[in-house]
Amino acid sequence: MSDFAELEAELRSAVRGEVGFDVTSRALVTMDASNYRRVPAGVVAPRDADDVAAVLEVCRTHGVPVVARGGGTSIAGQATGTGVVLDFTRHMNRLLEINPDGRTALVQPGLVLDRLQEAAAPHGLRFGPDPSTHGRCTLGGMIGNNSCGSHSVAWGTTADSVRELDVITARGRRLRLGRDWAGAPQGLRELVAGDLARLRTGFPDLPRRISGYALDALLPERGADVARSFCGSEGTLGILTAATVRLVAAPRARALAVLGYADESAAAEAAAGLLDFAPLTVEGMAADLMPSPSGLPRGGAWLFVETGGETAAEARARAEKIVAAADVLDALVVTDATAQRALWRVREDASGRATRLPDGGGTAGSAGAGSGGGEAWPGWEDCAVPPARLGAYLRDFRALLRAHDLRGTPYGHFGDGCIHVRIDFDLLSGAGVARFRRFSEELADVVVAHGGSLSGEHGDGQARAELLPKMYGDEMVTLFERAKAIWDPDDLLNPGMLVRPSPLDANLRFALLPREPVPVAFGYPRDGGDFSAAVRRCVGVAKCRTTGTDGASVMCPSFRATGEEEHSTRGRARLLHEMLAGDLVTDGWRSTEVRDALDLCLSCKGCRSDCPVEVDMATYKAEFLHQHYAGRRRPAAHYSMGWLPRWLRLVARTRTAALLNTLARVRPLASLAKRLGGIAPERRIPHLATEPFGRWERRRERGRLRDRRADARAGRPPDLPRRPAFLWPDTFTEYLSPSVGRAAVRVLEAAGVEVTALPTRPWKVRRSDDGEREGYGGPVLSPRRTRACCGLTYLSTGQLDRAREVLRQTLDLLEPLLLRPADADADTDADAYADADADAYADADADAEPEWQSDPALDGELPPFVVLEPSCAAALRADLPELLPDDPRAARLAARVLTFAEALERLAPDWTPPRLGRPVTGQTHCHQHAVLGDAPDRRLREAAALTGDLVGGCCGLAGNFGFEKGHFEVSRTCAEEQLLPAVREAEPGTLVLADGYSCRTQLEQLAGVRGSHLAEVLAEGLEGLEGPEGPEGPERLEGPEPGSAS
């Protein structure tokens, strides 16, 4: 093989597309969604067929292999290689033509399936095959694998939907493949003619036979269809540059019947019998994949059976006919499109969920019990048997698992006899890999004994090609090799796949990973404290590459904005994997490649909830920044915004907010401040509150204390008991948006909640003679105050030592509030706080400490901490216990954190909010979506007669991210994806909801629109006001033009 530098130079001069031989470009494509890893020489993103031809010519001259890659979701290793990888997703990703009358479409190989479906839908058409990865898999990859999907019982495989293919061979011949030998290379017809008997009898007769080359499609009685024969060849015969595909009529209406069965075998036995009803799908899933099913009928396994019709009534009637004929424990029929999508997501996310065993078990090398599920891997992802034999096959499969002490969770296309499963192979040890091989060889025998195919959807690749002789015999495999030699005599196209394969246990992607956990700052409790196991969560499902806007999903805003793999969750996980492996990324935590990939991560945490395996890239980013900058100077923004709570407290203490607001409007001074602070010049410096929320709250508390004493002196009875709650003084509400805090107090107290501010002074500790803590007295009356803080800004900038320090101070400050009276002697201590120190506070100025009294909740629970800023609530609930896993106080505090809506729902369940009768738009905060959930907010909006749904996606500001220099364009692009269009298109009188300070700031700075916290909307409703938005639509703010810097 020639020197790669020379190869790179020649490719750069020969093609118009991008050529990448750098570490990042190569690292991003070392893996697909399989168990395998290969490091390529380089990556080329061709712009057209001429670029493809040029790459093939240069690589042939140098003897370098070429691998075609689509979405990188292959599960058998086909999209990895050691030569040059062709990335078709960047440029050759267009729909070239759609012909509604002829029901065909002309597509490029990098076109994502969902884009084709969107273009075909207005014509009442669709592409038949629809794998669960439809939001990111490409047509080229589907053709290469002969993919299927859930609707294959109705519309077959990709090969059934292909009409013509434009391909270029390794030696540069451009062919158009079709029926009647169209485009066949010289020698192919003779190969078939010389072995007709073997081709007529040597292939299993079943709907999901994907393994091997489809040479039987070249039989004369089957039309000698060269295009069909090319499908499933895994990029080993030629490079696809365009395809003419067939479309089918889409049903006008659909119904989904979910059938519950006692167990997996019962569901499998029933599946084949449902095919007589001509359903669109017969998908199966067992309870061990969903141990706590929500919204599913009673049962231990389920079939998802979809029907179609001209009307919803017709589709429902067909579904109910199936239910009546099926012997089921329970059933559910759904015709509502939204409800159907929600149920289908349960099935579509199974490929990701199956990689984490539900009960946390696992073999050696897995994350282990209690860590969010043991690891399970592909390898036998999609074998298929005749549908009538599926039940018997599953029983034999389960028996083989038990014999090898392995576990797996089967699911998949029961109607076609195709089973997907991830198995808890230990691929980190030599013994585990040996067992992987033994199991694979024995399972191949079981599949063949049932008349099946080793692959029923994802192809053979490296995972199963070695075992093809078991299925076909040596003579047929030799025929495959001869066919490969006709198409690609130099063996340049994806060598090691399908024919003359690499061993199934070679090139495993786990081989180079560290065997012992690396020292890290976070606890990673879901991964057994192992950062490597956390990174291994990403198995390449690539849901983070989905760009559709259907639903409320957030992941992954930076990929949606850039379209670059480097800026997807998967891309970053791949670079972190290579960093841990140390083979390609060699600088460890000091890696600039990893740093640059993480730079555009918004830390939105969308992947924590939207990714089927719950990758938490925001945590990984914080970890990496912590390690990367250890003992080194950080970017200026880490000091200006990372330490924001300290700077804002200083401003409040010196009462200089008004002066700073004035100076921020002086353009030269503002520009200087932004330059020194690492802030994007396009941004405006936010307005500081001249009266912090805490100062207002202390005045309120002081007045309340006087009223109580006056009532006591006058002999008036005290008010009825109220449910107590502490209001968390987050930095944004305290210093930047105190109106939110004031509104929350008004609403909570109107609902019967007693709102109390948190203490800001340390507590006296009573100790025994031997120094043991006995209890707490009142606060220390000292001029120095501290504040409770969630540490969010330190977390997001990776300053984890400082974050731990701040969080420990917070726990020290709040410790008496975190313990039950029996533990903390809180009854007497609280009284001491109130009685001994109340006089000092009653006559103090507005900054005096308020009274706190122990007043347990009416149901015996301790008062919760109500956090108004969603990102702060998420930090306390999720990050705090992971950063301080050994401090029991952290878990206590996290368990008592409530959002505003949660607090009203829990503390005032019978309260009725004002009926506002207004439409709303806006966006659920990313951290609320990912960590906290928004169901209580939706119920509260419904109770207040606020109509309309909030959009998904991310506002793009994301705390410090959108303010950091170099991030403005990505930040704006994120906002323009969903939030800003929704606001612009809002009907008159619409309220714009944005609970996060970042979201409100982005709306103000980019659209000139005021967003409101839900508490503000309800508070103004209580006062009988019209609301924060005028009757003509979202309220526009006066000031600089949106998007302009001050």
Using one digit for the tens of pLDDT, what is the confidence trace for 413-455? 999 999 999 899 999 999 999 999 999 999 999 999 999 999 9
d(CA 217, CA 215): 5
d(CA 111, CA 499): 28
Q: Which of 959, 977, 1030, 1041 is nearest to 1006 (CA)?
A: 1041
Flag the least confident range among 22-36, 543-557, 855-869, 904-918. 855-869
pTM score over 0.85: yes
| Structural element, H or E, at residue 267 | helix 264-274
Distances (CA, A) of 167 to 95, 224, 235, 480, 1019: 17, 17, 10, 19, 65
Average pLDDT over residues 750-757: 93
Flag the least confident range among 95-99, 352-356, 1016-1020. 352-356
Instruction: Give every CB contact of residue 822 below 8 A, 6+ residues apart in sequence.
Output: none
* 595-615 pLDDT tens trace: 999 999 999 999 999 998 999
* pLDDT exceeds 50 at position 919: yes
Average pLDDT over residues 6-30: 98
Long-range contacts of range 699-706, CB-CB < 8 Å, 24 or more positions apart?
Answer: 699/846, 700/745, 701/756, 701/757, 701/850, 701/851, 702/841, 702/842, 702/844, 702/846, 702/848, 702/850, 705/838, 705/841, 705/842, 705/850, 705/851, 706/842
784 vs 143 pLDDT, higher one: 143
Share of the chain above pLDDT 90, in %: 79
Average pLDDT over residues 634-640: 97
Share of the chain above pLDDT 70, in %: 88
Q: What are phi and psi of 253, to 5 degrees?
A: -140, 155
**pLDDT tier for residue 708 given thresholds of 50, 70 and 90:** confident
Average pLDDT over residues 865-894: 97
According to the model, what pLDDT value does residue 786 have?
Answer: 81
Alpha helices (runs of H) in 861-996, residue ranges in sequence order: 870-874, 880-883, 888-895, 900-907, 926-927, 935-943, 968-977, 979-984
According to the model, what pLDDT value does residue 712 have?
Answer: 78
Go through the chain and tell me how many residues it has.
Answer: 1046
d(CA 221, CA 262): 44
* 116-161 pLDDT tens trace: 999 999 999 999 999 989 999 999 999 999 999 999 999 999 999 9
| Phi-psi domain of 108 (left: phi exceeds 0; alpha: psi -120 through 50; beta: other) | beta
How far from each other are the two terminal CA atoms of the chain, in whole angstroms?
58
DSSP annotation of 632 reads: S
**pLDDT tier for residue 409 given thresholds of 50, 70 and 90:** confident
* Position 73, amino acid: T
* 685-698 pLDDT tens trace: 999 999 999 999 98
Bridge-partner residues for 1012, per DSSP? 993
3 state SS of 293 = coil
Distances (CA, A) of 731 to 186, 643, 680, 688, 998: 73, 11, 21, 11, 12
Q: Which of 594, 607, 627 is nearest to 537 (CA)?
A: 607
**pLDDT tier for residue 1029 given thresholds of 50, 70 and 90:** very low
* pLDDT exceeds 50 at position 988: yes
Average pLDDT over residues 388-401: 95
Average pLDDT over residues 656-684: 96
Q: Look at the alpha carbons of 170, 176, 178, 181 in this order and tell me if their dihedral is positive or negative.
A: negative
Contact (CB, 8 A) for 68 and 233: no
**pLDDT tier for residue 773 given thresholds of 50, 70 and 90:** low
DSSP annotation of 787 reads: -
d(CA 1004, CA 173): 57
> How high does pLDDT run on average in the chain?
89
Q: Which two tokens stand for residue 977?
A: 């994806």
According to the model, what pLDDT value does residue 652 have?
Answer: 94
Alpha helices (runs of H) in 875-933, residue ranges in sequence order: 880-883, 888-895, 900-907, 926-927
* pLDDT exceeds 90 at position 829: no
Q: Report the chain's C-alpha Rg in angstroms.
A: 31
Average pLDDT over residues 853-870: 70
**pLDDT tier for residue 975 given thresholds of 50, 70 and 90:** very high
Distances (CA, A) of 863 to 307, 314, 726: 51, 54, 7
**pLDDT tier for residue 359 given thresholds of 50, 70 and 90:** low
Alpha helices (runs of H) in 424-568, residue ranges in sequence order: 430-449, 468-472, 474-487, 531-536, 557-562
417 vs 292 pLDDT, higher one: 417
d(CA 195, CA 208): 23
Q: What are phi and psi of 775, to 5 degrees?
A: 170, -170
d(CA 1030, CA 988): 8
Flag the least confident range among 155-169, 218-232, 352-366, 965-979. 352-366
* 451-496 pLDDT tens trace: 999 999 999 999 999 999 999 999 999 999 999 999 999 999 999 9
According to the model, what pLDDT value does residue 838 have?
Answer: 35
Distances (CA, A) of 909 to 440, 754, 913, 973: 56, 15, 11, 40
According to the model, what pLDDT value does residue 1030 have?
Answer: 41
According to the model, what pLDDT value does residue 678 have?
Answer: 97
Flag the least confident range among 433-447, 694-708, 1003-1017. 694-708
According to the model, what pLDDT value does residue 338 have?
Answer: 85
**Domains of the chain, first to last:** 4-87 (3.30.43.10), 95-249 (3.30.465.10), 251-348 (3.30.70.2190), 355-461 (3.30.70.2740), 525-632 (no CATH), 637-677 (no CATH), 693-905 (no CATH), 909-1022 (3.40.50)
d(CA 935, CA 9): 56
**pLDDT tier for residue 832 given thresholds of 50, 70 and 90:** very low
Q: What are phi and psi of 906, to 5 degrees?
A: -85, -40
**pLDDT tier for residue 349 given thresholds of 50, 70 and 90:** low
* 190-204 pLDDT tens trace: 999 999 999 999 999
According to the model, what pLDDT value does residue 331 have?
Answer: 95
| Phi-psi domain of 58 (left: phi exceeds 0; alpha: psi -120 through 50; beta: other) | alpha
**pLDDT tier for residue 549 given thresholds of 50, 70 and 90:** confident
* pLDDT exceeds 50 at position 620: yes
* pLDDT exceeds 90 at position 722: no
| Phi-psi domain of 944 (left: phi exceeds 0; alpha: psi -120 through 50; beta: other) | alpha
Average pLDDT over residues 848-852: 37
According to the model, what pLDDT value does residue 721 have?
Answer: 66
According to the model, what pLDDT value does residue 348 have?
Answer: 67
971 vs 819 pLDDT, higher one: 971
d(CA 143, CA 153): 18
